[in-house]
Amino acid sequence: MTKEPGGKCGTSNKAVVAWVDEMSKHCKPDRIYWCDGSKAERKALTAEAVEKGVLIKLNQKKLPGCYYHRSNPNDVARVEQSTFICTESQDEAGPTNNWMAPKEMYQKLRAFTEGSMRGRTMYVIPYLMGPPGSPLAKVGIELTDSIYVALSMGTMTRMGEIALEELGTSDDFNRGLHCMLDVNPERRYIAHFPKDNAIISVGSNYGGNVLLGKKCLALRIGSYLGRQEGWFAEHMLVLGVESPAGEKTYVAAAFPSACGKTNFAMMMPPPHLKGWKIWTIGDDIAWMKPGPDGRLYAINPEAGYFGVVPGTNSKSNPAAVEMISRDTIFTNVALTPDLDVWWEGKDGPPPKECLDWKGNKWTPASAEKAAHPNSRFTAPMANNPLLAPEVNDPMGVPIRAIIFGGRRSNTTPLIYQAFNWVHGVYLGATMGSEMTAAAVGGAGQVRRDPMAMLPFCGYHMGDYFRHWINMHKTIKHPPRIFNVNWFRKNGQGEFLWPGFGENMRVLKWIVDRCHARTDAEETPLGWVPGPGSLDLTGLTNFSPERLEQAQAIHEEEWRRELMMQDELFMKLHARLPKELIFQRELLLARL
């Protein structure tokens, strides 16, 4: 075993060195490469990835610093059926998670990973989740035999020396092992051991399955730790809204995978609301903790965005278009003959001919999509023109509003506000959403996705609701809670609400509600904008009747909805807080 020049161990932390040693003896890589996170290292690793054919260098005139990657076609999204929470008892993981006893899972995966890095390099990736010095920040170390993962973690996290510095001599770090094996769905496991603060991921090389800081640590292990330590780890974007007067209001929003978080976090207000400005704190994950002043403070643990590419254009998300024009890795989009990238919904006409995400010849006459619906960009947050300067504040930002929102073609209105905290928890807990391409299988079907955390909660969902209810006592000035649905359709199958930048109009109402300067009307579901209080000035092709349709509450749809909520409640009943059952009964009585 040799250590490469430039990839030497740069830490004297005994726990880190001992663990890496133990794992390397087990996985038996030919080489160990310790990542330091430097620019020179990134350059060298990128060149190596190009040489190995893992990355294709894109047209550097058009896309400086950009590279192209194709994943195995059997490995294009998160796989929920292969994701396990390995707590001591099955009851602790709850009925919404796959479970295996830790001992059994360790044994199974030890057999898979033993000697699995022979002939390969083991990259040691120390990474920091959160701004340095933040009381909420956590350190992880991921060991991987994927150079693509090493490069992606370099963008998505604060990676290298900075993490080891934060760790110091402590042994409190997440231990993550990732082995690609033969990228075979039959031997694909994403296993979490919350008690050991450990993760083992095998048989994949894609996104949330393998970038272990993201869903595995920041959400599944994070939610488990958050409950113990009194904070929240949530699948939420965080943004700052700046009013024309310069007042900044911070908002967090939980939408399920591929339901609009990145777009909302980087929103460009419409011309009529020109004086308003959005600043991005994060686009996918929020860690939130009550501060000494009684407000709820949030940080973004990540340092980059792993965002959905299709549909990204200068109308839907101009800031993202600018952001991904440099220093970006594109995964599973289409590749044009002049080494540019293309996807469905990109600006301009489709190329006459290109290679699709699988590398097959594609023309506009082809039946299949050129880019995979879950194709993604990996881009550093520093390139986001709307990045909030406060993103590196160790204390985080105070949250005034929490928004829940699913993808629903019917039933759920565009916007309504919870009556109070427990009612808000009920709205989040009973969220339903149509499944998307971000996870394998089931796209389009409505399922319950409480707080957009169904695939990401590291313990019993009933206990998770209890944690949400209990936290209220520790937050003197709790955020107001809202529910949105950008995806309601009319009889012709068209979206009723234009969405994207126009969502600023809804957000403005939310912010105004938080500052008690706009009115609302009571409905059985909650508070809705009073007549004229949702600003629709300058919105073309949008009649007041259309808003009425978007806001309509149909009793028969809601009776069906309550039945579907009941299915979830029955599943969780042993640990379901009574408060939520009362909320459901109250709603039933109001309808």
Is 460 one of the binding residues for ligand GTP (CB under 6 A)? no
Strand partners, 116: none
Is 203 one of the binding residues for ligand SPV (CB under 6 A)? no
Please provide the size of the chain in residues: 591
Out of ligand GTP, Mn ion, ligand SPV, none, which partner does residue 231 contact, by CB within 5 to 8 A per kind? none
Closest CB 465 distance from Mn ion, rounded Å: 21
Instruction: Tell me which residues are annotated as active site.
Output: 259
Closest CB 89 distance from ligand SPV, rounded Å: 27
**Identity of the residue, 20 or 238, whose beta carbon is nearer to ligand GTP in the bound complex:** 238
Contact 202, 79 (CB under 8 A): no
Q: Name the H helices within 459-523.
A: 461-471, 503-514
Token pair in block for residue 128: 């920091």
Give the 3-state secondary structure of residue 561: helix
Contacts 24+ apart (CB under 8 A), 517-520: 520/417
Out of ligand GTP, ligand SPV, Mn ion, none, which partner does residue 174 contact, by CB within 5 to 8 A per kind? none
Pick from 268, 215, 271: which is nearest to 458 by CA? 215
Q: Site residues for ligand SPV, window 427-446 (CB under 6 A)?
A: 438
| Choice from 208, 260, 428, 501 touching ligand SPV (CB under 6 A) | 208
Which residues in this chain contact Mn ion in the complex, by CB under 5 A?
257, 284
Closest CB 482 distance from ligand GTP, rounded Å: 15
Helix (H) or strand (E) holding 165: helix 161-167
The span of 95-103, 208-216, 326-334, 427-435 binding ligand SPV (CB under 6 A) equals 208-216
Is 201 one of the binding residues for ligand SPV (CB under 6 A)? no
Amino acid at 539: L
Out of Mn ion, ligand GTP, ligand SPV, none, which partner does residue 495 contact, by CB within 5 to 8 A per kind? ligand GTP
| Choice from 49, 210, 308, 481 touching ligand GTP (CB under 6 A) | 308
Q: Site residues for ligand SPV, window 254-313 (CB under 6 A)?
A: 257, 284, 306
Is 329 one of the binding residues for ligand GTP (CB under 6 A)? no
Give the 3-state secondary structure of residue 400: strand
Closest CB 211 distance from ligand SPV, rounded Å: 6
Contacts of 541 (CB under 8 A, 6+ apart): none
Is 215 one of the binding residues for ligand SPV (CB under 6 A)? yes
Instruction: For 292, list phi and psi in degrees, rounded to 5.
Output: -60, -25
**Identity of the residue, 78 or 480, whose beta carbon is nearer to ligand SPV in the bound complex:** 78
Distance separating alpha carbons of residues 536 and 303, to the nearest angstrom: 35
| Choice from 42, 175, 192, 214 touching ligand SPV (CB under 6 A) | 214
Contact 8, 164 (CB under 8 A): no
Out of Mn ion, ligand GTP, ligand SPV, none, which partner does residue 503 contact, by CB within 5 to 8 A per kind? ligand GTP
Distance separating alpha carbons of residues 394 and 569, to the nearest angstrom: 38
Is 211 one of the binding residues for ligand GTP (CB under 6 A)? no
Distance separating alpha carbons of residues 122 and 132, to the nearest angstrom: 26
